[in-house]
């Protein structure tokens, strides 16, 4: 009785087809994940950012961005913020805090973050001097950075306002209209 011959493995042609398919699949995965770049600007900036407590105590003004990985406005603003940080890293801190990380919930509550991107602006002494709500252009980020570094008033931009303590305001007196951007104004 003749037994059937064992099935032969793939021939040279089948191996070539499998190899080609594997290469195409690997290429597609690389393309979908953003190529060979290890990180997009937002992730790279977040990884380089100093700890908030260190930034607020090192004698340099600080821009803190509350962001999320899924936030398109945050992602589109990242290259401009990265450029500011790269040019001014000796004179200015840029700190990114991800709103999806529960570690930052106390800061989210403290700075009343209700929308992103949300920038908190600090002077060289670590005191909050203002905030910017919504996406910012490179020119706007540059003007905010310059104002902080030169200890000048913040530029007049939509969604940017100075912050002040409620205790500084006389009792019963309303705050001036337009003095502070609302958390949902988004520029």
Which residue of the set 55, 63, 64, 74 is catalytic? Answer: 74
Strands 118-122 and 62-67 come out as antiparallel
Phi, psi of 160 (to 5 degrees): -115, 135
Examine the residue annotation and report whether 98 is marked as an active-site residue of this protein: no
Eight-class DSSP state of 170: P
**Contact in structure between 185 and 133 (CB atoms under 8 Å):** yes
Phi, psi of 41 (to 5 degrees): -55, -40
Q: Is 65 helix (H, G, I), strand (E, B) or coil?
A: strand
The Cα–Cα gap between 108 and 151 comes to 25
Examine the residue annotation and report whether 149 is marked as an active-site residue of this protein: no
The Cα–Cα gap between 99 and 7 comes to 57
Which residue of the set 42, 52, 63, 71 is catalytic? Answer: 71
**Which helix H or strand E contains 25, and what residues bound it?**
helix 12-32
Instruction: Enumerate the active-site residues.
Output: 71, 74
């Amino acid at each position: 009785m003749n037994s059937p011959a064992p099935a032969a493995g793939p021939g040279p042609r089948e191996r070539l087809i499998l190899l080609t398919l594997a290469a195409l699949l690997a290429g597609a995965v690389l393309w979908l994940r953003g190529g060979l770049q290890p990180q997009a600007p937002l992730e790279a900036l977040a990884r380089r950012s100093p700890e908030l407590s260190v930034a607020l105590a090192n004698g340099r003004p600080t821009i803190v961005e509350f962001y999320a990985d899924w936030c398109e406005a945050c992602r589109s603003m990242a290259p401009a913020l990265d450029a500011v940080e790269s040019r001014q890293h000796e004179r200015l801190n840029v700190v990114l805090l991800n709103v999806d990380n529960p570690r930052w919930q106390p800061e989210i509550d403290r700075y009343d973050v209700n929308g992103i991107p949300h920038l908190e602006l600090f002077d060289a002494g670590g005191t909050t001097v203002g905030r910017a709500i919504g996406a910012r252009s490179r020119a706007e980020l540059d003007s905010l950075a310059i104002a902080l570094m030169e200890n000048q008033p913040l530029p007049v931009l939509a969604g940017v306002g100075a912050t002040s303590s409620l205790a500084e305001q006389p009792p019963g007196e309303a705050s001036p209209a337009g003095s502070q951007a609302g958390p949902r104004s988004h520029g």
